[in-house]
Amino acid sequence: MSTSGNLDALVERVLSRAREEATSVVDRANKAAERQVHEAEAQCVARQKAAQVAADEASQQRLHSRRAGMQQEQRRAVMNAREAAVNEVFADALQTLSKIDDVQARCDLLVVFVGEGARALCVSVVSVRLNAAEQDLARTPEFPQELDGVRVTIEDETIETSGGPVVTDETGRIVFENTFEARLDRSRGSGWLCRFRALAEFIVLRNAATTSENHCCCDQRD
């Protein structure tokens, strides 16, 4: 009986320790599982936040890109409208200048343009090519054969232009185009300040030509 009782007590102690250890293992497992669940939930929340931030940034980038595109289109539209307006005024000025009937006004304008070409070349003798109408004008006695000490020779060859000269040195190798069209083309490659200076010059010339024509008409009526 004593031996049997001792054995039973031993078994009970072993089982008790086993139950305690099992309970401890289960508790540790449960806590580890809870920690893993919490960590997984935290990672999921963090990923969701990161995804939302990325989506917001992408949305902002798309919005910024759309705004930048719209602004670029607006700037392009303004530049095109401004270019069209300037070209329209230039075209009107070219047409008016090419139709100047006042001989003296046309001669004065031609002298100015030839003089500019002569000064640009810095030579003592220049050759000048003109359209047919201005060539006849430049061969009249009224047209100066010398400008600021530079001898002017009118060539027989004519050019196609609304007006204005092509000025060269005697060899023809150094050329300064000062036709109406060339002056316009030079202004195209310049900044807007130069463009508007050229535009203002053309407007002044056009207005002067128009005024001269009006005076001629008034003189004829009188």
Write phi, then psi, for 164 (nearest 5 degrees): 95, 160
Helix (H, G, I), strand (E, B) or coil at 19: helix
- pLDDT band for 72, please (50, 70, 90 cuts): confident
pTM for this entry: 0.51
Domain count for the chain, please give it.
Answer: 2
Query: Is residue 82 one of the residues assigned to a domain?
Result: no
Each residue's pLDDT tens digit, 26-46: 677 778 778 887 887 888 888
Q: Are residues 133 and 183 in the same domain?
A: yes
Write out the residue range of the structural domain in which residue 185 sits.
89-221
Quote the pLDDT of residue 221.
45
Average pLDDT over residues 8-15: 64
- pLDDT band for 120, please (50, 70, 90 cuts): very high
Query: Is residue 191 one of the residues assigned to a domain?
Result: yes
Query: Is residue 178 one of the residues assigned to a domain?
Result: yes
Instruction: List the alpha helices (DSSP H) in the chain.
Output: 2-98, 103-121, 132-138, 180-188, 192-221
The span from the CA of 214 to the CA of 20, in Å, is 121
Average pLDDT over residues 61-70: 84
Residue 167 has pLDDT above 90, yes or no: yes
The one-letter amino acid code at 74 reads: Q
- How far does Cα 208 stand from its chain's mean position? 34
Query: Is residue 6 one of the residues assigned to a domain?
Result: yes
For residue 205, what are the CA distances in angstroms to 106, 129, 198? 10, 21, 11
Quote the pLDDT of residue 106.
82
Query: Is residue 84 one of the residues assigned to a domain?
Result: no
Quote the pLDDT of residue 4.
60
Each residue's pLDDT tens digit, 170-206: 999 999 999 988 887 776 655 545 555 555 565 566 5
Q: Are residues 127 and 188 in the same domain?
A: yes
Sheet holding 175-177, edge to edge: 146-147, 150-158, 125-130, 166-168, 175-177
Quote the pLDDT of residue 218.
40
